Structure 1
Amino acid sequence: MWLLILVLIAVCFIFYVKEARLKVVSSPALAYFKRALPQLSQTEREAMEAGDTWWDASLFSGKPNWSQWLQTGKPALSDHERDFIEHELNELMAMLDENQICAQGDLPPEVWQFLKEKGFFAFIIPEKFGGKAFSAQANSAIVAQIATRSLSAAVTVMVPNSLGPAELLLHFGTPEQQQTWLPKLANGSALPCFALTSLEAGSDAGGITDFAVVCKQEFEGEMTLGLKVTWHKRYITLAPVASVLGLAFKVYDPDQLISEATELGITCALIPTDHPGVEVGARHDPMGLAFMNGTTQGQGVFIPMHWVIGEMDGIGKGWRMLVSCLSAGRGISLPALSAGTAQLSAKASTAYCRVRRQFKQSLWRFEGVQVALARIAGLSYSIEATRQNTAMAIDLNKSPAVITAIAKYHLTEMARVAINDAMDLHGGKAIQRGPLNYLALHYQGMPISITVEGANILTRNLMIFGQGATRCHPYVLKEMAAAQEQDADMALQQFDKVLMQHLAHSGKTFLKASFNGLTRGVFSSAPVAGEVARYYKTLTWYSQILAVQSDLAMLVLGGKLKLQEMRSARLGDMLSQLYLASCVLKKFEDDGRQCSDLPLLHYVMQFHLSAFERAFTGFIDNFAPTGLKTIAKRWFMPFGGAVDGPSDRLITALCESLYCNKLTLARVSNLCDTSGHAGLAALEQAFQLFPKCEQCLHKFECWQKAHQAKLLVLNTDEQLAMAVAECVLDEEERELLVEWFQVSRKALSVDESV
């Protein structure tokens, strides 16, 4: 049946005639389509309608326009944004000591005051309200740089600048609400939090049990129309210190005071935390980090209707508000934290693997170490490329829910791999907590990024392809609209037209994918020449494979695909790898096609392409009938995939590039400033000194090996003096090595408990 469906798609295309609609096909197809339509809850439908598409739709179509992709603009910062980073941000970085912050359980008072006074909570607020009006690119870059030093401070800064009262007010608040709150949020006199998650409702926001009843009650001496709200929220960042609470709840109107309906839907409101009845509960302890997180609750708390975001017009529109803002925030905050963690891992691991020596050579010379080191560098490069391009989409006024879900899931997972590898490479140094340890708290805090703003299991299995299949497909959304048309004749007419276009598209894509499988995509077009062109061609071929597999999955499974999470997740993985690889190619072009970046580019592209191939193979193995699995794989990849993953030679070349080319290291660690962290600064000093003394260190070590017996009772200074006496070293070399041993020992030292 599976292969027969492929043939039918091609046949329908061959016999498709633009002017002659095949109603004999479309009428039963419409009936099937209505039966097969996935059943969407109201919250799912609103989430689907709130976002939009961007480059993901082009990848999903099977015909990505690479020239258009490369011309979408380069990530850039304004002069005002760069000035803020060079001054206010650098001043903040010098104030942050994450070990001290976590030991005290809070940011120091002077840091809180600095954040408020300098506008760190006002990035997204327009200048007319006293805000910074920064781009998403600047917002992301600032949070990422803070994250290299202090996750506690980064989370504190990111929350008011992503999903929160300011974002909701800007898009949905009335002018009066904006005038009331935005200046206070901008100058820090009002500190916000937003409460969505409750005990019963986490991923299923539609299951919120927090509720409000429309009523009239005396407020400030007058009978006022409003809501009596009951809630109990948890995991709310900044709740313990917030002065204004953004709150999501369901509204009911049993007396029909404002509507003929009783259930009015999810609604958002702003409530001052000093309002009678508002309770700030116990504080949580998020993995030992010091950012404020806790609970809030209230029982029958009356609020006037003008505290609802959007006032009366905002009743029942809260979920649409949240998902439209959440997709933007998800594309800024979590990628920024991931970039900070990955770049810290790259910066520290590269330096440590040169400074740390075993068996008379630096760690990075060992091939096993090179595997982990190359992976850290490659993932950091990919994360930065995706962070920049996803933020750019938001700056282009897009709200691409699928792309931001891809960025959230994959970048946090890649950062988790990077920090794990960094911990392995540092060995014992990484597990001794204290001021000299620059990795432990980031490792400790990694599960937070994995969990928040949509847990990763949910994001991968339900959101990426679950939304992508409908939002990004060029025809499915139109077919769904036609199937829901009440007028039968109109429905058939609309569906007939879209169905024929869909079949034509599917047939063409199937033939192109089959041809590119035979030719390995060599005849596809590419916007550039040279050795990089093959990646564009391969991605076009793989995009066509995804389009065909998606059509087949939706045709065979229909609405059941929503429940086939493992299968849909693999299709989502295929789309994700295409997007991540696209961002890498664009970054390479935006950075000026530097030859020094080629080892990085080749490593990352082969990493993502091989991940696509594994997802494709896994999908076929778990979707196609047993007898057709091999045929299906051979049909689209008759000679296998385009790559087998990064080769050993490429891994070694990338590691050599990290140490021989400063630009390569800068690409994967430019956001990480080492000056303010005692342990990292000492490591960087040793890293910079090593090239100057490497040659004389080698001479000294060879001499030590030859005279091992007589040197056993001598300390290092005595051995250096003997080496000078025997003319192995001159006095200048001895002084250099004295400095090296002093600096390197400091860099490799760990904290000790008293």
Structure 2
Amino acid sequence: MSDNNAAINEELTMFKDMVLRFMDQEILPHYSKWEDDHHMPREVWHTMGRAGMLLVDMPEKYGAADASFDVCQMIQEEMCRLGLHSLATGYNIHANIVAPYLLNIGTEEQKDYWLPKMATGEVLTALAMTEPNAGSDVAGMKTNAVKEGDSYILNGSKVFITNGNQANMIIVCAKTDPKAGAKGVSLFLVDTSLPGFSTGKPIHKIGQHSSDTGELFFENMKIPANALLGEEGRGFAYLMQELPRERLGCAVQAIGHAQGALDLTIDYVTQRKAFGQTVGQFQNTRFKLAECQTELEMCKALLEKHMDKFSRDEMTVTDAAMLKLAATEMQLKMVNECLQLFGGYGYTDEYPISRFYRDARVQTIYAGSSEIMKEVIARGMLGR
């Protein structure tokens, strides 16, 4: 093992111990109530900020921990293993997606202003791409921003936006040149305290109940010209540049979530008895668990390969698509098999496996559906 790998492993161990203590003390005692209420208090993000869990892999000069990329992914994986998928989804957007957009594309002024506030939890963030009539079709979006002097006037709406109702700043994708298709898309750092911004009722979902999912409206919203993130008209290119990390994060969550479901199931089948023996002694149960473990290990190996490629800045859009496709499809299949082994109890809210089942379903939809992933992979193979 190289000195660098040893240092990363030591750092991961240190942070993991801290993360597990934090979850045990600050999150797990309240999480079921948040899920029942379909609401996670905004204070959670302040608490996470005080614990040093936000933006862990951002530079120290922005008030972050300057830890390795692996630490940020480990936090998501542990959240999902513990069944905290709603929290992990919001965390992924704020710390694993929006923060890198700012770090990689933003001006020093933008980074100095937003990143320290994001690290403390004072500012919660979101990314707004999807529209009511334009999901994966970014080029077909209708939200627009018109330049007027030293400002832009923003109009339009977005839907299914994680952290949308509570966010203080949102990266908004908008058309600055409606005739240019994908080349007419720009990104803006939108301060939600400005006039012209509003939200609809929180969207209730099949799973991830306490994850804040909102519908956003921009009505003649005047935003300063320095809210432009990067260059005008390069928004689609920036999205393609940053999507691999987002999809890698989805795969990390899938693997953590699947591991958590498997742990619950192993514990259940070794205790539950039927026909004079434990459920775990039936051949069908043993074979199903063996299949689950094998598929999980294969996805872990694929993740390790692409985490390494990402660290060398070599992971391609096609790599990320294959990883997300494999990991999230495995996750859905695995939690389904696990719930089946619980029998009727698995279909009740009393047993956490039911929440694992519900929460997993969206993983093959957001950040690019499995169908889109297959198309991306095929284009990479066929060159068109």
Superposition TM-score, scaled by structure 2 size: 0.91
Residues 1:197 and 2:130 aligned together: yes
Q: What CA distance in whole angstroms lies between the structure 2 residues aligned with 1:113 and 1:376?
A: 37
Cross-structure match for 1:603: none
Residues 1:278 and 2:197 aligned together: yes
Task: Give the AA of the match of 1:292.
Answer: D
**Equivalent of residue 247 in structure 1, options 142, 147, 172:** 172
Cross-structure match for 1:174: 107
1:158 Cα offset (Å): 1.5
Q: What CA distance in whole angstroms lies between the structure 2 residues aligned with 1:129 and 1:112?
A: 17
**Equivalent of residue 326 in structure 1, options 219, 238, 243:** 243
Does the residue aligned with 2:132 lie in a helix, a strand or coil? coil
> Structure 2 vs 1, CA of residues 74 and 466 (structure 1 numbering), >3 Å: closer, same or farther?
farther
Report which stretch shifted further, 346-355 or 292-301.
346-355
Work out whether residues 272 and 278 of structure 2, in 8 Å CA contact, stay in contact via their aligned partners in 1.
yes
> Structure 2 vs 1, CA of residues 195 and 439 (structure 1 numbering), >3 Å: closer, same or farther?
same
**Equivalent of residue 58 in structure 2, options 103, 122, 125:** 125
Superposed counterparts of 1:337-736, under 5 Å: 337-434=253-350, 437-460=351-374, 462-470=375-383
Work out whether residues 118 and 124 of structure 2, in 8 Å CA contact, stay in contact via their aligned partners in 1.
yes
> Structure 2 vs 1, CA of residues 117 and 397 (structure 1 numbering), >3 Å: closer, same or farther?
same
> Structure 2 vs 1, CA of residues 81 and 370 (structure 1 numbering), >3 Å: closer, same or farther?
closer
1:112 Cα offset (Å): 3.4
Work out whether residues 430 and 440 of structure 1, in 8 Å CA contact, stay in contact via their aligned partners in 2.
yes
Work out whether residues 89 and 142 of structure 1, in 8 Å CA contact, stay in contact via their aligned partners in 2.
no
CA RMSD of aligned residues (A): 2.4
Residues 1:156 and 2:70 aligned together: no
1:282 Cα offset (Å): 2.2
Tell me which structure has the larger Cα radius of gyration: 1
Residues 1:290 and 2:210 aligned together: yes
> Structure 2 vs 1, CA of residues 76 and 448 (structure 1 numbering), >3 Å: closer, same or farther?
farther
Q: What CA distance in whole angstroms lies between the structure 2 residues aligned with 1:124 and 1:308?
A: 24
Work out whether residues 119 and 188 of structure 1, in 8 Å CA contact, stay in contact via their aligned partners in 2.
no
> Structure 2 vs 1, CA of residues 377 and 74 (structure 1 numbering), >3 Å: closer, same or farther?
farther
> Structure 2 vs 1, CA of residues 279 and 382 (structure 1 numbering), >3 Å: closer, same or farther?
same
Overall identity of the aligned pairs, in %: 22
1:175 Cα offset (Å): 1.4
1:363 Cα offset (Å): 2.1
Does the residue aligned with 2:200 lie in a helix, a strand or coil? strand
Work out whether residues 354 and 364 of structure 1, in 8 Å CA contact, stay in contact via their aligned partners in 2.
yes
Does the residue aligned with 1:283 lie in a helix, a strand or coil? coil
User: Per residue, is there more strand in 1 or in 2?
Assistant: 2
1:109 Cα offset (Å): 6.0
Please, which runs of 5 or more residues in structure 1 have no aligned partner? 1-69, 217-224, 255-260, 471-561, 563-754
Q: What CA distance in whole angstroms lies between the structure 2 residues aligned with 1:249 and 1:401?
A: 22
Q: What CA distance in whole angstroms lies between the structure 1 residues aligned with 2:306 and 2:181?
A: 40
Work out whether residues 286 and 448 of structure 1, in 8 Å CA contact, stay in contact via their aligned partners in 2.
no
Does the residue aligned with 2:299 lie in a helix, a strand or coil? helix
Q: What CA distance in whole angstroms lies between the structure 1 residues aligned with 2:183 and 2:254?
A: 38
1:201 Cα offset (Å): 1.3
Q: How many residues align?
A: 379
> Structure 2 vs 1, CA of residues 263 and 107 (structure 1 numbering), >3 Å: closer, same or farther?
closer
Please, which runs of 5 or more residues in structure 2 have no aligned partner? none
Superposition TM-score, scaled by structure 1 size: 0.48
Does the residue aligned with 1:159 lie in a helix, a strand or coil? helix
Q: What CA distance in whole angstroms lies between the structure 1 residues aligned with 2:108 and 2:157?
A: 30
Report which stretch shifted further, 94-103 or 205-214.
94-103
Work out whether residues 45 and 124 of structure 2, in 8 Å CA contact, stay in contact via their aligned partners in 1.
no
Work out whether residues 76 and 137 of structure 1, in 8 Å CA contact, stay in contact via their aligned partners in 2.
no
Q: What CA distance in whole angstroms lies between the structure 2 residues aligned with 1:134 and 1:303?
A: 33
Q: What CA distance in whole angstroms lies between the structure 2 residues aligned with 1:420 and 1:383?
A: 17
